[in-house]
Chains A and B, each alone.
Chain A
Amino acid sequence: MKKPLLALSLLLSTTSIAAAEGQLNLFNWGDYTSPELLEKFEKETGIKVTVTDYDSNDTALAKVSAGGGGYDLVVPSAHFVQIYVEKGLIQKLDLSKLPHHSNIAPEWMDVEWDKGRNYTIPWQWGTTGISVDTSIYKGDPNTSEIFLNPPEELKGKINVVPEMNEVVGLAVMWAGGKPCTEDVAVLKKAHDALINARQYWISMDYGTTERMANGDWAASVNWSGETFRSRLKNPNVVYGYPKEGYPLWMDSVALLSDAKNVDEAYKFLDFISLPENAALISAFARYPNGISGSTEFMPADMATAPEVNIPAEFKAAGHFLPACSGKALDYMTAIWTDLQK
């Protein structure tokens, strides 16, 4: 009876590799981390970064708050940062260990969710809109009607990325409200439209880059950078900015409270604050980042891409998703659960 228990405790403890020297565990969205960035970081610092993927803000938060995930850094979207702070899941950054902190672009420094950037370093920002395959759909791509009230030729060929805040946000704005609204009439309209439209969707899945490019899907609620990457493989793919309103977002890197490799994490955070390194992130995932002067290190096509440079006529329709009140969040979760079933 004693022996196995002894063996057990030995095994549980001695194989503890998470805090080994020169290691760093990054918990990030899937297909979002540039391999070149990690290679360069390892070459310069000798620190090997292990990336674990997640699919959504909610999954990441669930895993982190379940405890003992063994991660050092996480990359939540803006409206999740305050939740991490409130629950004590991420720690305040010691800015003295981040000599290049001032490289953060002025417009991304005093953001609402992290004034003065005491908790997070920008990773990338973008928009959530619609990608369509113009070989199948010739109409205007700049509307949420495409997934909420699909035209005949797109029925049964539409994908919706399963990210609650953004999908419900799009539907609420389509229904004439603002993100995080508590207006029951607007919520009801959005809810009914989503539930009704669901029958025309083929799937609610990630992996949009490949499947939009190879024609598995003819349209998708999708992120700007993913669409950009699809377009590079298949020129028929076009990105639409819903004129009824669409979400703007930024994902930022935060240091977890139970991080084991804190020194390594600071090195990484400072590393990505350098424009030439931030540019590597963008060159891979095709979203702009929030670091000053990184544009000149990026591929030339980033400067002109319609997915990156929001056309003037649609600029006003973009809304930064705020952190919602408890009540608004309850509504949103209820709609989402109903939709997911």
Chain B
Amino acid sequence: MATKSFSVAKLPGFTATAVIVFVTLYLPILTLVAYSFNASQSVAIWGGFSWDWYVKAWNNDAVKDATVRSLLIAVCAALISTAVATMAALGTTRRKAFKGQTFIYVMINQPLMVPEIVTAVSLLILFGMIKQATGIQGIGYVIFAHAAFCIPFAYLPIRARLEGMDMTLETAAADLYASPWQTFRHVTLPILLPGVIAGAMLAFVISLDDVVITEFVKSGGQDTLPTYMLGQMRRQLTPEINAISSMLLALTIVLLTAFFLLTRKND
């Protein structure tokens, strides 16, 4: 049966197209990584293998500062967005549909629907006003801007996990005279945890990748790694950008693999 359904599911040219797609998808990324080991100054001419650009990027203060800042923002944004998204997921699932639920859904998914450039422009205006009026500076503006657009990404896996959960366990706990808090702490949360971690990781990756909103919202000396790279790309194309990209790429792949294994094990 299995083999038979395969032959009928085969459509002419589909496999070839798929193979070409996978090659096209990875070839540019592999080229980028390969040229990060280029000994030559130019991004165009291959001059032999070398680690120089990694060493150079590592010793570049601007890159170091931007990396630390990117990680700080991503960790804070992921924590904030995951915390509020977990609460919202608990509030919007496993109870009778209530008035305003659709409104809450729309609000939570809003960052997925509004083009980034529009949010970026509106935050530029808002933060400019606040900064001028109060004189308060700081990285907090960027963190909260990130936290906001990370909420839907944190919310979705948590909600999916909650919807797949067996409610009888909680009922059983309540029957055994556990307080609501005890039930949450000892029954709901442990089962929910993989969803929460998955949500936090997605939020972290999304924050780490943001260019447009950060580019508009950042103040002096608040470059993140992507905005630093965007600036460099317009000026000096050296393999140093490839080296930075490759490192960021490696970090993303490690996180995603962890995410992949985490969600698979619990299926």
Decide: A50 and B131 in contact? CB cutoff 8 A: no
Determine the chain B residues whose CB is within 8 A of the CB of A50 once the complex forms.
Answer: 65, 220-221
Decide: B220 and A207 in contact? CB cutoff 8 A: no
| Cβ-neighbour of B140 out of A12, A25, A206 (below 8 A) | A12
Q: Does B206 count as interface, using CB distance less than 8 angstroms?
A: no
Interface size on B, residues (CB 8 A): 36
Determine the chain A residues whose CB is within 8 A of the CB of B144 once the complex forms.
Answer: 8, 11-12
Determine the chain A residues whose CB is within 8 A of the CB of B41 once the complex forms.
Answer: 233
Which residue of chain B lies nearest to A68 when distances are taken between CB atoms in the complex? B131
| Cβ-neighbour of B223 out of A52, A68, A69, A207 (below 8 A) | A52
- A17 and B220 in contact, given A67-B129, A68-B127 (Cβ under 8 angstroms): no
Range of interface residues on chain A? 35 or more
Q: Residue-by-residue, is B84-115 near A (CB-CB < 8 Å gives 1, otherwise 0)? A: 10000000000000000000000000000000
A258 smallest CB distance to B (angstroms) = 8
Decide: B231 and A18 in contact? CB cutoff 8 A: no
B112 smallest CB distance to A (angstroms) = 22
Decide: A15 and B234 in contact? CB cutoff 8 A: no
Q: Which of A176-219 contact B (CB under 8 A)?
A: 205-207, 209-211, 214
Q: Does B138 count as interface, using CB distance less than 8 angstroms?
A: yes
| Cβ-neighbour of B139 out of A15, A71, A258 (below 8 A) | A15
Q: Does B237 count as interface, using CB distance less than 8 angstroms?
A: yes
Q: Residue-by-residue, is B19-38 near A (CB-CB < 8 Å gives 1, otherwise 0)? A: 00000000000000000000
Q: Does B213 count as interface, using CB distance less than 8 angstroms?
A: no
- A18 and B42 in contact, given A53-B231, A68-B137 (Cβ under 8 angstroms): no
Q: Which residue, A53, A205, A233, has most C-beta atoms of chain B within 10 A? A: A53
Which residue of chain B lies nearest to A7 when distances are taken between CB atoms in the complex? B80
Q: Which of A210-245 contact B (CB under 8 A)?
A: 210-211, 214, 233
B228 smallest CB distance to A (angstroms) = 9
Which residue of chain B lies nearest to A10 when distances are taken between CB atoms in the complex? B140
Q: Residue-by-residue, is A57-76 near B (CB-CB < 8 Å gives 1, otherwise 0)? A: 00000000011111110000
Determine the chain B residues whose CB is within 8 A of the CB of A209 once the complex forms.
Answer: 235-236
Q: Residue-by-residue, is B205-248 near A (CB-CB < 8 Å gives 1, otherwise 0)? A: 00000000000000111110000000101111110000000000
| Cβ-neighbour of A67 out of B42, B128, B222 (below 8 A) | B128
Determine the chain A residues whose CB is within 8 A of the CB of B120 once the complex forms.
Answer: none
Decide: A30 and B234 in contact? CB cutoff 8 A: yes
Q: Does B136 count as interface, using CB distance less than 8 angstroms?
A: yes
Q: Does B191 count as interface, using CB distance less than 8 angstroms?
A: no
Q: How far is the CA of A258 from the CA of B137 in the complex (A)?
A: 11
Q: Residue-by-residue, is A16-38 near B (CB-CB < 8 Å gives 1, otherwise 0)? A: 11110000010100110000000
Determine the chain A residues whose CB is within 8 A of the CB of B135 once the complex forms.
Answer: 68, 258
Q: Which of B164-222 contact A (CB under 8 A)?
A: 219-222
| Cβ-neighbour of B235 out of A4, A16, A207 (below 8 A) | A207
Q: How far is the CA of A67 from the CA of B133 in the complex (A)?
A: 9
Determine the chain B residues whose CB is within 8 A of the CB of A12 once the complex forms.
Answer: 136, 138, 140-141, 144
Q: Does A13 count as interface, using CB distance less than 8 angstroms?
A: yes
| Cβ-neighbour of B138 out of A15, A52, A69, A207 (below 8 A) | A15
Q: Which of B231-267 contact A (CB under 8 A)?
A: 231, 233-238
Decide: A18 and B236 in contact? CB cutoff 8 A: no
Determine the chain B residues whose CB is within 8 A of the CB of A71 once the complex forms.
Answer: 219-220
Decide: B124 and A19 in contact? CB cutoff 8 A: no
Decide: B221 and A18 in contact? CB cutoff 8 A: yes
Q: How far is the CA of A30 from the CA of B223 in the complex (A)?
A: 13
Q: How far is the CA of A70 from the CA of B127 in the complex (A)?
A: 12
Q: Does B118 count as interface, using CB distance less than 8 angstroms?
A: no
Please list 9 pairs of residues, one from A and one from B, whose beta carbons are closer than 8 Å in the complex, sorted by A's number. A11-B138, A16-B137, A18-B220, A30-B234, A55-B234, A66-B125, A71-B220, A207-B234, A214-B42
Q: Can you add 17 more A-B contacts, CB < 8 Å, to A11-B140, A13-B140?
A: A12-B144, A15-B138, A16-B136, A16-B138, A18-B138, A25-B220, A50-B221, A52-B223, A55-B234, A66-B128, A67-B131, A68-B130, A68-B219, A205-B234, A206-B234, A207-B234, A207-B237
